[in-house]
């Protein structure tokens, strides 16, 4: 089976593809559709509370004929955050959970989980701690609640889960670790919470398949024009799986998005 995960940074921008960036985003999405994944997980959809418009659905159905679409939109802030699953096979059940996170985090559409006979597949858009770390305490509470949620799934059957986790776990996971220890996404607190998640029984597949390999990144800052040219990036998007199925993973890669900065998709192949 093939799974792909991507922070798209606006479904609408992709569908409209009226700007240069929107055109690049649409091209990436079209290439992902051509890969015919069993499940495509999308984060930061920025859809309205009502979900996909008729125009969105028509465009996506043309790319993904006979697929099923599941969206979880923010009800707290308009056109903010949000997650989505595009699945070839209809699941047994779909969950848009609230996990007991603080503030409005549970209302920001951050998780979609599909249940199949032998496994769960879930996606998450983890809250950012904020440029001034003003949301760091809430972010830590989110991490604890999210770990509990995944653990509850894992008791029932193995979990394949992906998304923008908004954390570079180790120094190897970003180009400039020494200057970012107090930056959102690389604080000791966020990194420790990610370690706790892995220690609860899950494998970071990209790192497991590429131990010690530097320069593997999934995000390059848009505001720095040379970030991707220089591969000055961060690895903050992940596929994690329950340890007991980690040996079934055949391959994982970062999908090439050409000149487009921001997030790149990751593709997982599992038996």
**Residue whose pair of structure tokens reads 């040996």 in the numeric block:** 247
Split into its structural domains, the chain has a count of 1
Catalytic residue among 164, 173, 237, 262: 164
What is the band of 156 on the pLDDT scale with cuts at 50, 70, 90? Answer: very high
pLDDT tens by residue, 166-177: 999 999 999 999
Q: What is the DSSP letter of 77?
A: S
What DSSP element (H or E) covers 120? strand 120-125
Closest CA to 197 of 160, 148, 162, 124: 148
Q: Are 32 and 66 in contact (CB under 8 A)?
A: no
Please enumerate, as own/partner, the contacts of 67-71 that have beta carbons within 8 Å and a separation of 24 or more: 70/94, 70/112, 70/114, 71/45, 71/47, 71/109, 71/112
Nearest C-alpha neighbor of 254 from the set 233, 229, 225, 230: 233
Averaged pLDDT, 91-113: 97
Which two tokens mark 247?
């040996």
- Tell me what pLDDT residue 199 has: 98
Q: Which residue, among 137, 151, 152, 149, has the nearest Cα to 103 in the 3D structure?
A: 137
Query: Could you tell me if 89 and 116 are in contact, meaning their C-beta atoms sit under 8 angstroms apart?
Result: yes
Of 181, 108, 102, 104, nearest to 144 (Cα)?
102
Q: Percent of the chain at pLDDT above 70? A: 100
The four Cα atoms 31, 269, 198, 188 give a dihedral, to 10 degrees, of: -30
Confidence of residue 1 (pLDDT cuts 50, 70, 90): very high
pLDDT digits (tens, 9 = 90+) for 118-153: 999 999 999 999 999 999 999 999 999 999 999 999
In whole angstroms, what is the distance from residue 8 CA to residue 149 CA?
24
Instruction: Give the separation between CA 6 and CA 27, rounded to whole angstroms.
Output: 13
* Per-residue b or e along 158-191, where b marks 16 or more CB atoms closer than 10 Å to that residue's CB: bbbbbbbbbbbbeebbbbeeeebeebbbbbeebb
Bridge-based pairing state of the strands 262-263 and 39-43: unpaired
Q: For the purposes of burial, counting CB atoms within 10 Å of the CB of 79, is it exposed (0-12), middle (13-18) or buried (19 or more)? A: middle
Q: Which pLDDT score, from 0 to 100, does residue 215 have?
A: 98
pLDDT (average), residues 217-225 = 94
Per-residue pLDDT band for 32 (boundaries 50, 70, 90) equals very high
CATH number at residue 54: 3.60.10.10
What average pLDDT does the segment 178-184 reach? 96
**Residue among 67, 70, 80, 125 flagged as catalytic:** 125
H or E, element range at 43: strand 39-43
Q: Which domain holds residue 83?
A: 2-270
164 belongs to the catalytic site:
yes
Q: Read off the DSSP letter of residue 229.
A: T
């Amino acid at each position: 089976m093939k799974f792909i995960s991507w922070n798209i940074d606006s479904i609408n921008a992709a569908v409209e593809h009226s700007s240069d960036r929107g055109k690049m985003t649409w091209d990436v999405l079209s290439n992902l559709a051509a890969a015919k994944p069993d499940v495509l997980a999308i984060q930061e959809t920025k859809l309205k509370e009502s979900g996909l418009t008729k125009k969105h659905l028509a465009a996506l159905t043309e790319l993904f004929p006979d697929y099923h679409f599941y969206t979880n939109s923010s009800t707290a802030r308009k056109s903010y955050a949000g997650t989505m699953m595009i699945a070839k096979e209809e699941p047994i059940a779909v969950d848009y959970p609230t996990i007991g996170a603080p503030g409005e985090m549970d209302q920001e559409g951050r998780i979609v989980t599909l249940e199949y006979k032998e496994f769960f597949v879930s996606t998450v858009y983890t809250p950012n701690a904020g440029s001034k770390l003003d949301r760091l305490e809430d972010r830590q509470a989110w991490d604890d609640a999210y770990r509990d949620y995944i653990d509850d799934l894992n008791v029932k059957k193995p979990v394949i889960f992906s998304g923008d986790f908004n954390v570079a776990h180790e120094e190897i996971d970003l180009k400039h670790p020494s200057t970012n220890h107090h930056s959102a996404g690389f604080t000791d607190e966020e990194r420790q919470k990610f370690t706790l998640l892995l220690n609860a029984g899950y494998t970071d597949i990209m790192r497991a398949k590429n131990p010690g390999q530097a320069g593997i990144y999934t995000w390059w800052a848009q505001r720095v024009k040379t970030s991707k040219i220089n591969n000055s990036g961060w690895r903050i998007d992940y596929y994690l799986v329950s340890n007991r199925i980690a040996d079934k993973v055949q391959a994982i890669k970062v999908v090439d998005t050409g000149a487009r900065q921001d997030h790149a998709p990751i593709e997982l192949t599992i038996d």
